[in-house]
C-alpha cells in the first residue's frame, strides 16, 4: 500500500500557503490512496504537514482538507455551501437536496423530513413493516450457514428501503449493481468511452431514473396507496415549483442514502461480533432478556447493548468518510484564514476515530456508550454530519440497526450457532465514495 501514498517519494509544494500532499498521480490525483488507504493518508499528512493540507480528488480537483477540530463546525457555518457536491458529481447529485443551500434546501427537506422523525416512523408502522423482513433474512442466513456478508446486507437494506418507499422489490441485486456503478461517477475520470466508468455510471443513472419515473406514474395513478413515494408525489403535486426531474433526483438520493451506508454498517457489525466473542455474548444475553425484536422507538431503551453496538460500529467504521463544502466568504479555521471560494473537505473519518474525542480510539469498546451518563451530543453522531444537512435517516438507521442486532442474536443463539469470520477483513476494504468492507468477506454461522 505504501506506493499509493507517495509513489516517487516527492516533497510537498504549497498552494495559497498550504501544503499539497505529495504523491498525486496524473488524472486520478490521490484517489487511489483516498479510496483504499484513507486513514493512513490522513494520519501521515497530519504528521508531516500539519492540520491543513490539499488533497487531489482527480477529476474533482483539489480540496483543502482540515483535521483541526474547528473543521467539523464548518458544517453548521452559514458561509459554507454544499453546492460543491453537485459540481463533483453532477450526474448523481444535480437537483438533490444534499447539494442545495438555504431556503431551497429547507423547502426540499420539508417535503420528506417528518416521515423520518420517530413520530413519523411510528405513525407509519415502519418497525412492524421491517421486523418480519429482517427475521426472515436471519433465518435464511442460519439455514445457509455461510454468507457473503456485504452482498447480503445490501440486498436486505434495499428490500427495507423499497418497503419504506412503497415500491415493489424486484431484482434487488440488479438495483445494487446499478447503484454501485452510479457511485463510481464520483471518482470516474471524465472520459466518455464505452465500457469506462463514466459511460457505465450514466447508463446506470438512466436505468434507475426510468424505473423511478414509472413508480411516480404508478403513485399518481393509484393515489390511495401508501408509502413515502406517494407522500412525496402528493407534496410535489400541491406545489408548482418542483419539477418531476427534481422529485426523481431526490428519490434516487433517498434510495442511495437509505441502503449503501446502512448495509456497510450492518456488515461491519457482524464482522465485529465475529471478531469479539464477548460482544456476541453480551448481545445474546440482552436479546434473550428482551425476547423479541423491538418495533417502536420508545422500545429501544430496553436494548442498550444493541444500541451501543450500532454507535461503536459506526464510530470505528463511518460509512461516509469525507464531506465536500465550499467557503462562500473568507473563513478562520484553526490558526489559518481561508480565502472565499476555497473548496473544502471535512474528514468525518478523522474526527470519528480521533484521540481528541475518544480514549483509545482504535479499540472497539461498548463501555464508552454503556457507561456514559450524559445525553448523546451532535459530536457523538458526527458520522451523520451536523447542521442543516444532518442525515435525515438517523432515527431510521438507529431503529433498523437495533432491530437487526436483536434479530441476529435471537435467531442464531436459538439455533446454537454464532458468527465466525472466514475472510481477511483488511483486504479489499474501501473508504470512498462510501466506506465498506470487501464484497468478498464471508461470515459463517456455526
Ligand atoms: C449508517 C447509515 C447512514 C450514514 C452513516 C449516513 C450519513 C449521512 C451524512 C454524513 C449526511 C450529511 C451529508 C452532508 O452534510 O453533506 C447524510 C445526509 C443524508 N442522508 Fe444519510 N446516512 C445514513 C443513512 C441514511 C438513510 C437510511 C437515509 C434515508 C432513508 C439517509 C438519507 C439521507 C439524506 C436524504 C441526506 C441529505 C440530507 C440533506 O441534505 O438535508 N441516510 N447522511
> Residue 388 sits in a domain of what CATH number?
1.10.630.10
Domain boundary among 335, 352, 369: 352
In a domain, 94, yes or no: no
CATH number, residue 76: 3.30.43.20
Q: What is the band of 3 on the pLDDT scale with cuts at 50, 70, 90?
A: low
CA of 223 relative to ligand 1 center, distance in Å = 28
Q: Is the CA virtual torsion 72, 19, 190, 430 positive or negative?
A: negative
Does ligand 1 have an atom closer than 6 angstroms to the CB of 346?
A: no
Q: Is the pLDDT of residue 9 over 70?
A: no
Distance 149 CA to ligand 1 centre (A): 22
At residue 241, the pLDDT reads 80
**Residue 257 beta carbon below 6 angstroms from any ligand 1 atom:** yes
Q: What is the pLDDT of residue 222?
A: 83
Does 323 sit in the ligand 1 pocket, CB within 6 Å? yes
Task: Please tell me whether residues 70 and 181 are part of one structural domain.
Answer: no
Q: Residues 31-81: pLDDT tens digits?
A: 999 999 999 999 999 999 999 999 999 999 999 999 998 999 999 999 999
Instruction: Give, using CA atoms, the residue closest to atom 17 of ligand 1.
Output: 391
**393 C-alpha to center of ligand 1: Å?**
6
Q: For cell 454464532, name the residue.
A: 418
CB 236 within 8 A of CB 247: yes
pLDDT digits (tens, 9 = 90+) for 118-174: 998 998 899 999 999 999 999 999 999 999 999 999 999 999 999 998 888 888 889
Whether the CB of 265 sits within 6 Å of ligand 1: yes
DSSP 49-115: H-SEEEEE-GGG-EEEEE-STHHHHGGG-TTEESTHHHHH-HHHHTT-GGG--HHHHHHHHHHHHHH
What pLDDT is recorded for position 442? 98
Instruction: Write down the pLDDT at residue 421.
Output: 98
Is the Cβ atom of 320 under 6 angstroms away from ligand 1? yes
- Cβ of 396 below 6 Å from ligand 1: yes
Q: Global pTM?
A: 0.95
Interval 344-397: pLDDT, tens: 999 999 999 999 999 999 999 999 999 999 999 999 999 999 999 999 999 999
Residues 187, 40, single domain; the answer is no
Same domain, 346 and 408: no
What's the average model confidence in pLDDT over 250-276?
95
What spacing in Å lies between the alpha carbon of 305 and ligand 1's midpoint? 24
Q: Is residue 157 part of a domain?
A: yes
Answer yes or no: is the C-beta of 262 below 6 A from any ligand 1 atom.
Answer: yes
How remote is the CA of residue 109 from the centroid of ligand 1, in Å? 12
Q: Which residues of 240-257 are buried (b: 16+ CB within 10 A; e: fewer)?
A: eebeeebbbbbbbbbbbb
Question: 363 and 396 share a domain?
Answer: yes
Across the chain, what does the average pLDDT equal?
Answer: 94
Nearest CA to ligand 1 atom 14: 389
Look at 187-191, 306-310, 399-403 and tell me which has the smallest mean pLDDT: 187-191
Domain boundary among 299, 334, 352: 352
Centre of ligand 1 to C-alpha 259, Å, is 10
CB 179 within 8 A of CB 208: yes
Q: Answer yes or no: is pLDDT of 2 > 70.
A: no
**Least confidently predicted of 107-111, 128-132, 138-142, 265-269:** 107-111
Return the residue whose CA atom lies nearest to atom 6 of ligand 1.
384
pLDDT over 90 (residue 234): no
Least confident of 105-119, 132-146, 259-273, 325-339: 105-119
Amino acid at each position: 500500500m505504501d506506493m499509493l501514498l507517495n509513489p516517487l517519494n516527492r516533497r510537498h509544494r504549497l498552494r495559497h500557503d498550504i501544503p499539497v500532499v505529495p504523491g498525486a498521480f496524473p488524472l486520478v490525483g490521490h484517489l487511489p490512496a483516498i479510496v483504499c488507504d484513507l486513514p493512513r493518508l490522513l494520519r501521515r499528512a497530519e504528521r508531516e504537514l500539519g492540520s491543513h493540507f490539499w488533497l487531489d480528488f482527480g477529476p474533482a480537483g483539489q480540496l483543502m482538507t482540515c483535521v483541526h477540530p474547528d473543521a467539523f463546525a464548518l458544517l453548521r457555518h452559514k458561509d459554507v455551501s454544499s453546492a460543491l457536491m453537485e459540481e463533483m458529481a453532477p450526474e448523481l447529485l444535480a437537483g438533490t437536496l444534499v447539494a442545495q443551500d438555504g431556503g431551497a434546501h429547507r423547502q426540499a427537506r420539508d417535503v420528506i423530513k417528518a416521515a423520518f422523525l420517530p413520530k413519523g416512523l411510528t405513525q407509519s408502522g415502519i418497525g412492524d413493516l421491517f421486523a418480519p423482513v429482517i427475521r426472515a433474512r436471519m433465518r435464511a442466513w442460519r439455514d445457509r450457514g455461510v454468507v457473503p456478508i456485504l452482498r447480503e446486507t445490501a440486498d436486505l437494506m434495499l428490500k427495507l428501503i423499497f418497503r419504506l418507499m412503497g415500491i415493489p422489490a424486484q431484482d434487488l441485486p440488479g438495483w445494487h449493481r446499478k447503484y454501485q456503478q452510479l457511485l463510481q461517477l464520483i471518482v470516474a475520470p471524465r472520459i466518455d468511452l464505452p465500457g469506462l466508468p463514466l459511460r457505465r455510471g450514466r447508463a446506470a443513472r438512466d436505468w434507475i431514473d426510468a424505473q423511478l419515473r414509472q413508480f411516480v406514474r404508478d403513485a399518481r395513478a393509484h393515489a390511495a396507496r401508501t408509502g413515502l413515494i406517494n407522500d412525496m408525489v402528493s407534496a410535489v403535486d400541491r406545489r408548482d415549483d418542483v419539477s418531476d426531474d427534481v422529485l426523481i433526483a431526490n428519490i434516487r438520493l433517498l434510495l442511495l442514502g437509505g441502503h449503501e451506508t446502512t448495509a456497510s454498517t450492518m456488515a461491519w457489525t457482524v464482522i465485529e461480533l465475529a471478531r469479539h466473542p464477548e460482544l456476541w455474548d453480551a448481545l445474546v444475553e440482552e436479546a434473550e432478556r428482551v425476547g423479541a425484536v423491538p418495533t417502536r422507538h420508545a422500545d429501544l431503551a430496553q436494548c442498550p447493548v444493541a444500541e451501543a453496538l450500532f454507535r461503536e460500529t459506526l464510530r470505528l467504521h463511518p460509512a461516509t468518510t469525507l464531506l465536500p463544502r465550499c467557503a462562500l466568504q473568507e473563513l478562520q479555521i484553526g490558526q489559518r484564514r481561508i480565502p472565499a471560494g476555497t473548496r473544502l473537505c471535512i474528514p468525518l473519518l478523522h474526527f470519528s476515530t480521533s484521540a481528541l474525542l475518544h480514549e483509545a480510539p482504535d479499540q472497539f469498546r461498548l463501555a464508552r456508550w454503556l457507561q456514559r451518563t450524559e445525553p448523546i451530543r451532535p459530536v457523538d453522531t458526527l458520522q451523520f454530519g451536523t447542521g442543516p444537512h444532518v442525515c435525515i435517516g438517523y432515527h431510521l438507521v438507529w431503529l433498523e440497526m437495533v432491530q437487526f442486532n436483536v434479530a441476529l442474536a435471537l435467531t442464531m443463539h436459538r439455533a446454537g450457532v454464532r458468527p465466525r469470520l472466514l475472510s481477511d477483513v483488511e483486504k479489499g476494504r474501501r473508504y470512498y465514495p462510501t466506506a465498506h468492507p470487501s464484497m468478498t468477506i464471508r461470515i459463517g454461522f456455526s
